[in-house]
Amino acid sequence: MGQGFGEETVVRMKRNPRFPACPYLILILGVILSCIGCSSRTIKKPPSPLPSVRVLQVRKEPFRPSLKTFGTLTYTRKADVYSSQEGIIKTLNAEEGDRVTEGQVLATLSKEKLLISREQAAATVSCREALLDLAEEKLFEGYRSVEARILAMEKAEAELAQKGVEHAHLSEVWETKKKLFQAGGIPGGDLETIRTQYFKSKTDWEQAARDLEIQRIGFRDEDLVKAGYSIPGSKEERIALLKELGTKTLKVERDVAQGELSIARAELHRIELLLSETEIRSPLSGIVSQRAIEMGEKVFPDTLLFSIYDPAFLYALVEVHERDLPRIQIGQFAQVHLEPSNSITTLSGKVHLITPYLNPQSRSILVRILLDSPGNTGTFLHVLPGMFVRVTIPTGPITKMIRIPESALLPEETRVKNGTEGVKDTKPGDSSMVFIVRDATLFKSTVLLGDRMEGKVEVRSGIEEGDWVVLNPTRTLKEGEQVEVRE
């Protein structure tokens, strides 16, 4: 059987030489084609979608260059009120938040001890006034004594001159009588009488000269020179000088009395001033921002009592970097923006003061902007010192320019002048790159940057109005790549 079967198969194949083993071939071919079909369906993938990008059409927009910064509000006028003396708080007339006027009494101190001291000082003044009156009277008497002494010297001079004349006459008579006596013309008794008269007149004349010399002590020329005076040229000047010299001591006594009276009056004035300062008054009109004392509290000259500031005028205190200094000037207009929760959100002002000192750590200076009108006129203050503010200072006129969002710049292609990378560090004159879409294809373009503000940056060259720039480009995007555009 086995042989027969094999022979029969061979014989059958020989009978069909054109299609040897056709059924088997067809079966094998079908299996192969089926496998190929299945394999091709598993490996083949559909085409990938194009990257999607957001774009913005470049337009020229009106723009005013300005400097934006932030800071805090502060007062323009503020006063801390202290006591000038030690004392006990007797009354309190102002609370925190109260509006006060200049000179208004805020509190009072006890003053019983000062009242007693004032009485003592007043008594001392009365005593010193009496002593001054006495010194003045002595000085007046001194002037009269000098005048009397001058008159006495003049009288003594006249008497001395008279006695001199009499002595000279008797001297001539004495000489004549001596000759007559020698000639036997007169008796000896007459000569003795003349001799007695002559020597008496001589004694009187010499005594008068000595008395005048005694009266002149202190009034002589050498006395004037020793006292530091020059010799007067006229009688009137001499009399006036002699009066001054003769009453010098009395004048000193009068001056001492005047000085003591002045000291007593100064002490009385000091006590009266302290009494007036027991009333603590406001040095300016404004708002009481702090009351640091309580009723009955003991205070000292270094004890803070009240703090007061004027809410009608406030500063916005901001810091400006040194690179922006050329753009800031005194008198420049500024807008001050408060938090949106405030009833007043925007105020105007002007640059009032630029501090002439640069902070070496922050490389910035302080700028004070005086607000035009904070609106603090009612009982409730809308704008307070210490509030956070944002400040805008326009630095040029409104012009049209191309400005694009900072998000359109390629960070890895942004170069600043100091060689570092980073969009946030760009300054006018730095360069960067952006993607431009044309016919759904990406193209890189180098742009020259200008001022950066409010999340946008000025583009001075590199793109034109009407171009489409890619926003927020990713690092996977490549130049020449096809993209799907969405605005």
Q: Which tens digit of pLDDT belongs to each residue from 35-76?
A: 555 444 444 455 668 888 899 999 988 888 888 899 999 999
Same domain? 349 vs 407: no
Same domain? 138 vs 237: yes
Confidence of residue 397 (pLDDT cuts 50, 70, 90): confident
Same domain? 382 vs 409: no
As a whole number of angstroms, the longest Cα–Cα distance in the chain is: 242
Q: What's 475's domain CATH number?
A: 2.40.420.20
Confidence of residue 151 (pLDDT cuts 50, 70, 90): confident
For position 323, what pLDDT does the model report?
A: 87
Distance CA 306, CA 79 (A): 8
Q: Is residue 227 part of a domain?
A: yes
Same domain? 440 vs 345: no
Same domain? 130 vs 253: yes
With 90 as the cut, is the pLDDT of residue 121 above it?
A: yes
Among 190, 225, 260, the domain boundary falls at 260
Of residues 199 and 375, more confidently modeled: 199
126 membership: H or E segment, kind and range: helix 112-183
Same domain? 376 vs 340: yes
Q: Is residue 90 part of a domain?
A: no
Q: Is residue 318 part of a domain?
A: yes
Least confident of 89-103, 151-165, 374-388, 452-466: 374-388
Same domain? 237 vs 131: yes
Same domain? 123 vs 251: yes
Q: What's 156's domain CATH number?
A: 1.10.287
Cα distances (angstroms) measured from residue 410 to each of 222, 311, 467: 107, 49, 17
Same domain? 407 vs 360: no
Q: Is residue 55 part of a domain?
A: no
Confidence of residue 15 (pLDDT cuts 50, 70, 90): very low
- % of the chain residues with pLDDT over 70: 86
Least confident of 27-31, 78-82, 102-106: 27-31
Least confident of 11-15, 186-190, 291-295: 11-15
DSSP state of 312: T
Q: Is residue 301 part of a domain?
A: no
193 membership: H or E segment, kind and range: helix 188-215
* Structural domain of 385: 68-76+309-394
**Region 200-204: what's the mean pLDDT?**
89
Of residues 49 and 112, more confidently modeled: 112
Same domain? 327 vs 223: no
- % of the chain residues with pLDDT over 90: 43
pTM: 0.56
DSSP-derived pairing of the beta strands 346-354 and 333-337: antiparallel
Q: Is residue 59 part of a domain?
A: no
Q: What's 321's domain CATH number?
A: 2.40.30.170
**Any idea which residue has 């020793």 for tokens?**
226
Q: Is residue 276 part of a domain?
A: no
Domain count, the chain: 4
Same domain? 124 vs 250: yes
Same domain? 173 vs 194: yes
Q: Is residue 474 part of a domain?
A: yes
